[in-house]
Structure 1
Amino acid sequence: MPVPFTLGQIPAGVTTRRSWCNGAWAGRPLRCVVAVPARNEAGRIGRCLDGLERQQTSLPFGVLVLVNDSSDDTFAEVVARGRRRACAPLMVIEAELPAGRCDAGAARCVAMHLASRCLPSDDAAVFTTDADSLPPPHWIASYSVLIHAGYDAVAGLARLLPEDMADIPRSLLQRRMCEERYEACLDALEAWLDPVAHNPWPRHYQASGANLAISVAAMRRVSDLSWPACGEDKWLVRSLEAHDGRVRHDTTLQVQTSGRLFGRARGGMADTMRKRILDPESPCDERLEMLDRAYFRARTRRLLRELHAGHRHREHLETLSSRIRITPGLLAETLEASRFGVAWRAIESLSPRLARQPIKPSQLAAQCARGESLLARLRIPFALSSDLSAVTMP
C-alpha cells in the first residue's frame, strides 16, 4: 500500500541523503520560502534560480530546492551556483522518496512541508514553482501583498516558454487556445451569476504548481489531508476552497514553464499534452461542460450559497431539491455543514443534475460562440488574446 503523504509531517519512508545551505540562510528571519521540487533538472534549474535571484522585493525570502530521486547532478549544480553567487538564502536537500511514491505530488508535499518549517509565523507564506519554470520579477512581492491582506492562497497562470513553442504541434496549441477562450467565457459567466467577493472578475480557475503561494496558516488547515500522486496543485487549491479558504486566482502574473513533451512527473502536463496529441478528441477538462449545464451549475451554486447563509427561506430549499433531484431532507442535512465549500462538494457528488460531463474538442467552437453571444446580451465584459504565443497551460 502506498505511503500517505500530508503537509503535516514527513513519512518515515523519506530518506535524506545530504543537504547544503549558503551563509545567507542563517541570517534574518524569512517571511516566505519558495519550495522547488527537482528531479533530474541539472540542465534547467539554473533558469529557475536566475528568476528567483531577480525578484524585486524587500521581503526577506529564501529558496528551498528538494532534489528527489535524481540520477543526474542537480544537487551539485544548485550547490555550485550557491557558492559562486551572492544570492538569496538558499537551501538544497537531496532525498529519496519511498517506493511507490516517487511522484510529483509526494515531492511537492515534502518540499512545501520543509519550507513551512523554516518560517516563524502563520502569516508567512510558502511559494512553490517548478524547477523548469521562470517566475516574473514581481512574483514574490505581489503575491506577498495579497497574502498579507488576508488571502489564504494565490493561484496564478503558467504559460509556455517561447523557446519550447516550436516543439509543440500547432493543432495542440490551437486546441488549448480554444479551451482557454471557453474557460474565460465560463469564468466571466460565473463571476456574474455567482460572484465571490474575494475573487472578482477578471479571474480564472486554473491551479498550477508552477505558480502558487499559500499562507502557513492555510497550510495547517489542510495539513492532515492525504496528497495525490499527480494533480496535487489543483487538489490543494480545491481543498482550500472546500474549506472556504480565500483563494485569489490571479491573472496578472504568469510564470513561464517548460513545454517539453517528456517530463519528469508521471501524470503531469507533459503526459497530458502527449495524450492529446495521440488522441485529438480526448475530452477536455471536466470544468469545460456545455454552456447550459455551466449556467445551471453557477446559478444553482449561488442559490445554495444564499440558503447556506440563511438569506433564503424553506420554500426555496424544496424548489432547489426538486431541481437538482435530491430529497429536501438530504439537501437540508447537507447544507448544515459549517462551511459552504464542504456542502457544495457533497451536493455536487449527490446530484445527478450536477454530474460533470466534459465536452470534446469538436464541440468547443460552437460552445464558445454561444457563450460569447450570451455574455454580449448580458453586457458582461469579455476579451481574450488570439495570440498562440500567449497560450497558458492547465
Structure 2
Amino acid sequence: MPVEITLGEIPAGVSTLRSWSNAAWTDAALRCVVAIPARNEAHRIGRCLDGLARQQTWLPFGVLVLVNDSTDDTFVEVVSRGRRRGCGPLMAVEAALPAGRCDAGAARCVAMHLAGRELRGEGAVFTTDADSVPPPHWIARYSALIDAGYDAVAGLARLLPADMEDIPRSLLHRRMCEDRYEICLDAIESWLDPVDHNPWPRHYQASGANLALSLAAMRRVSSMAWPACGEDKALVRALEASDCRVRHDTAQPVLTSGRLFGRARGGMADTMRKRILEPDSPCDERLETVERAYFRARTRRLLRELHAGPRHAEHLHACSARLRLTLRMLGDALDAGGFGAAWRVIESASPRLARQPILPSQLLAQCARGEALLARMHIPSAWRADLSTGTTP
C-alpha cells in the first residue's frame, strides 16, 4: 500500500540527503515561512526566489525549498543564491520521498510540515511553486489577513506572459472563456449565498502556487491524507469542511509557468496538454450550467440557514425532497458538526448536487446566460465594475 502522507508528521521512508541554511536563517525570529517543493527546477527556481526577495514587508519571513528526487542542480542553485550578500533567510533541504509517493502532493506536504516546524508558537506557512513568481505585496497582504483572524488565504494563479507564446491560441481562447464564466459563477454564488468572511470580489480557485495558512489551521487539518495530485484543492476543501475562515483573495495573483511539460503528474501542464490533445474534454467540475450553479448556491444558502436556525419539520421535509435525501440522512448530516462538514456530506450524498461539468462548446452560451441572469438580479454597480474588468490567463 502507498505510504499515507499527512501534515502531522514526516512519514517513514522520507530520507534527508543534505540540508543547508544561511546565517540570516539562523539569526531570524521568523513570523512566516514560504514552503516550495522543487524537483529538477534549477533553471526556474531563481525566478521564484527573486520574486520573494522583492517582497515589500516588515515581517521577518524565511524561504524553505524542499528539493525532492531531483537529478539536476536545483539544490546547488538554491544554496548559491542563499550565499549572496543581502539574501534573506533561506533553507534548502534535499530529500528522497518514499517509494510510490514521489509525487507533487507528498512533496508539498513534506515541505509545509518542515516549514511549520521552523516557526515557534504562532505564525503562518505560505506555499508556492518553484516555477511561480509571487507579487511584491504577497506576504504583507496575506499576513495581515491572517493576523485579522482568517485561518487561510487562497489566491489566484495566472500564466506568466513570457510562457504564453508557446500555448496554442485555441487553448488560450478556451482558458479566457473559462475564466470569464468562472467569474460569472463566482458573482452569482456570492449574491445568492453571501459569506461574511469571504465577500465579493471572491473566487474559488485553490492553487498550490498561491496559498497561505496559519499554524493553528494547519493543526486542524494535520490528519488529512494528501493525494498524489490536486493536493491544493483537497487542502482548501478540508479547511472549509473544518469551518476555517478561508479568504479567496483576488488582489495578489501569483504568476506561474504555462509550460506544457511540467514536473507534477496531474498538474497544470498535464491539464493543458490533455486539452490540446482532446479539445472537447470537459471543463473543470466547477463549471456547470447556470441553472445547476443557481440551484447549488440557493440550496447551500437554505441549508446554511437551516443549520444555524430552528429546524421546523416542514422545512426539513421540503429540503429532503429538494435534495432527494431521506429525512434521516439530512438530519444526520446537519448534526455532523459545523456547516462546512454538513455541506460536504450533503453535497456528496445528494444526486441533485452531483457535479456535471459543461463542455467547451457550451462556454460562450453559458457565459451569455449567466451574464443575463446577473443583469436581472440587479447587482450593485461596484460588482458590475469588477465583472467588466475582463480576464486574462
* Distance across 2 between alignment mates of 1:160 and 1:253: 13
**1:156 corresponds to:** 155
Q: Are residues 1:192 and 2:191 paired?
A: yes
Specify the alignment match of 2:297 in structure 1.
Answer: 298
The Cα shift of 1:314 comes to 2.5
Is contact 1:177–1:386 with CA below 8 Å preserved after alignment?
no
* Equivalent residue letter for 2:323: I
Q: What is the distance in 2 between the residues matched to 1:258 and 1:250?
A: 20
Q: State the alpha-carbon separation in 2 of the partners of residues 369 and 287 from structure 1.
A: 17
Unaligned runs of 5+ in 1: none
Letter paired with 2:350: S
Residue identity in the other structure for 2:124: A
Deviation track 1:129-152 (CA, whole Å, cap 9, x = no partner) reads 111111111100010000001101
* Counterpart in the other structure of 1:323: 322
| Matched pairs, number | 388
In 2, are the aligned partners of 1:181 and 1:384 still within 8 Å (CA)?
no
Listed one character per residue, the Cα deviations across residues 278-331 of structure 1 (whole Å, up to 9, x for unaligned) are 011100111111111111111011111111112552211111111111111221
Q: Cα distance, 1:184 vs. partner?
A: 0.7
Q: Deviations over 1:12-62 (max 9, x none)?
A: 100100000000111131100000100000011011111111111110100
For 2:209, give the aligned amino acid. A
- Aligned residue in 2 for 1:236: 235
Q: Distance in 2 between matches of 1:377 and 1:311?
A: 32
**Aligned counterparts of 1:364 and 1:197: Cα–Cα separation in 2:** 30
Structure 2 distance, partners of 1:138, 1:36, is: 18
Contact 1:203 1:250 in 2 (8 A): yes
Deviation at 1:334, TM superposition (A): 1.3
For residue 245 of structure 1, give the secondary structure of its aligned residue in structure 2: coil
1:166-208 superposed Cα distances (whole Å, 9 cap, x missing partner): 0001111110111111111111011111100000000000011
Match of 2:62 in 1: 62
Q: For residues 82-114 of structure 1, give each alpha carbon's deviation from its aligned partner in whole angstroms, at most 9, with x where no partner exists.
A: 112321110000000011110000000000000
Residue of structure 2 in register with 1:273 after alignment = 272
Q: Supply the distance in 2 between the matched residues of 1:70 and 1:28 (Cα, whole angstroms).
A: 29
Counterpart of 1:258? 257
2:201/2:250 contact within 8 Å kept: yes
Contact 2:28–2:89 (CA under 8 A) maintained in structure 1: no
TM-score, normalized by length of structure 1?
A: 0.97
Superposition CA RMSD, Å:
1.0
Deviations 1:225-249 (A, max 9, x none): 1100001111100110111110000
Q: Secondary structure at the match of 1:366?
A: helix
The unaligned stretches of length 5 or more in structure 2 are none
Aligned AA (1:282): S
Amino acid at match of 2:104: A
Shift of 1:350: 1.3
> 1:102 is aligned with what amino acid?
C
Please report how far the alpha carbon of residue 385 of structure 1 lies from its aligned counterpart in structure 2 after TM superposition: 4.1
1:28 is aligned with what amino acid? A
Whichever residue aligns with residue 16 of structure 1, its letter is T
Aligned residue for 1:35? 35
Structure 2 CA distance, aligned partners of 1:369 and 1:228?
36
CA distance in 1, matches of 2:388, 2:24: 43
Q: Counterpart of 1:26 in structure 2: which amino acid?
A: T
**Cα gap change, 1:373 to 1:232, in 2 (>3 Å):** same
CA contact (8 A) 1:282 1:360 kept: yes
Structure 2 residue aligned with 1:341: 340
Once the two structures are superposed, the pairs formed by residues 1-394 of structure 1 within 5 Å of their partners are 1-122=1-122, 124-311=123-310, 313-380=312-379, 381-382=383-384, 383-386=387-390, 390-391=392-393
| Secondary structure of the structure 1 residue equivalent to 2:156 | strand
